[in-house]
Chains A and B, each alone.
Chain A
Amino acid sequence: MRRRGAVQTLAAGAALLAGGVLPYGLSTILAPGRAVAERNYLRPPGAPLDDDAFVAACIGCGLCGEVCPPRCIFFHTRDGGGEVNTPYVDAGKRGCTLCGKCMEVCPTSALSIVPRNEINMGLAHIDRTACYPWVDRGICGACATICPLGAKAISFEFANIYRPVVRKGCVGCGLCVEVCPHPSTPIWIDPSARAINTASEA
């Protein structure tokens, strides 16, 4: 009788454990790996290049989001599998102002403090077949005007004051994406270009 009781207890414990890890399992099955769009989905500034290292270091406390003045840091609340509760910046919604508060507040090594010019969230790309000045459909310059790093990150093509060109100093903050007036936002941030950014600096 006692043995049966122990077996029942063990079975119940195993069932409860299975129930406990169920949310993770389901989220992994339903949203494996990178289910989110690559474009404009950035990690907050100061994140390590290796995204696995970022996910391992982030405890999901939400502090970076809670200090962000433009509220540009969102969290994988329902998507993201193993990345659940980790922060991201969706440049299509709101760009980062490079204020650095998130790097200062992060208790872990997920976000480390780096100088403003050396932040590396990605690299902006401009689709020259859609951008208004590039297809001669008007004058704009919104991206170059808003850029917090100025002419070393984005400036105009030689002898044309409205066609924007991304320079080496771009850190991928995404403010240009936020302000781009074109409905299809021909400027976007490519987070996979972070490795290239680092290589060109070295």
Chain B
Amino acid sequence: MTTRKPFFLWRHLNKLRWLSLSLVFAMLILLPCLHVYQTYVAAHAYDLLAPSEKQFYDVMESLTVPFIDDPAEDLDVVKGNTWSGNFWGLKLSDPLAVLGQMAAGLSLYWPFILTALIPVLVTMLFGRVFCGWICPANFLYELNSNVAAWLQWAGLRTGVRRFDRRIKYAVLGLGLVLSVFSGSILVAAIYPPAIVGRELYYAIAQGGFGVGMVFFVATLLFDLLVARRGFCRYLCPGGALYSLLGRYHPVRMRRLVENCNDCRKCNAVCEFALAPMTDGFGQECTNCTACIAVCPTDALTFDIRLFDHPEQGPGHLGRRYRREQEEPDNPPSEEAA
């Protein structure tokens, strides 16, 4: 059997993902700034601005002037955050926002439900890609786990506890049930991407962080001190919803057992502590492609199938597989092709 190689560009998808995460985060900072600039423009009172405000105005003007004619109107084409946004007339919302609103109001409002259609379809195709590629909280959480790695390098202990992954489904269910009883969308209060999006807006355009920031800092500390990426893996209601929606996503990761040498780097790099080396991806996998980027033998690639490949045994470049081949008395763990 010929050894297959993954398409060479897939090794670089992880860089593209970091670009995407940084762009989303930068937009969440830029859009409120542009909004403040627009209000200065609409007020027609440049001369009445404070010196610092004038400086801000000039910076924003120089940033936007190559692209637009009328800041008060033209900058309205992109507004919002990952919770709900408006891109050139296309309204997109988080599926959790739609579900939460349906629970809180106990009613269906179709124009709003349809705004979650594209995210739902993308999730059904690619799985939890929102978590890995877009979520602004994930950007901060991944930086946070880098901090944890530095702390470990410095000899400090960080959180390595493990809990049951299914807790987050209970959080989702309980949040929706409580939303029904309280009549307000409670899941929004504990959903990190929504919190990050609106807290950045509050900090820039509303004069200070709100109460959600306290909760977000608490989740950062939880990730750092209790469980690595614990909030996303065990508690996030949105992650639970995306996992359920993407349970049978056809585009999923796959290990090429012929190329694998059992080095375990993929398991170490996986933010969600999945087990790429033993074919354990599942509905939690965000297709973040960090394991493809780290694999030294090109043993990880994309595949089109509805379920994960059943466990394929030790990698063919590894010592264990060779030993099993050389000693036919020892029955191999599986009949690897």
Contacts and interface: CB of A to CB of B under 8 A. Distances in A.
A105 B81 contact: no
B46 interface: no
Contact of A69 (B38, B189, B208, B210): B38
Interface string B186-209: 101110001001100110011011
A22 to B, nearest CB: 8
A108 B183 CA distance: 15
A77 B3 CA distance: 57
Contact of B109 (A60, A70, A77, A109): A109
Contacts, number: 155
Interface residues of B, number: 63
Contact of B76 (A17, A24, A59, A101): A101
Contact of A71 (B39, B72, B109, B208): B39
Contacts of B111: 107
Interface stretch (B58-66, B126-134, B164-172, B261-269): B164-172
Contacts of A66: 31-32, 35, 79-80, 201, 205
A55 B104 CA distance: 9
B8 to A, nearest CB: 40
Interface in A154-187: none
Given A59-B188, A60-B198, A78-B210, A108 B109 contact: yes
A83 B188 CA distance: 12
B307 interface: no
B205 A59 contact: no
A9 B189 contact: no
A141 interface: no
B1 interface: no
Contact of B83 (A56, A57, A61, A84): A61
Interface string A1-36: 000000001001100110111011001000000000
Interface string A73-90: 011011000111100000
Interface of B: 31-32, 35-36, 38-39, 42-43, 72, 76, 79-81, 83-86, 91, 93, 97, 100-101, 104-107, 109, 111-112, 115, 163-164, 167, 170-171, 174-175, 178, 182-186, 188-190, 194, 197-198, 201-202, 205-206, 208-212, 214-215, 218, 234-235
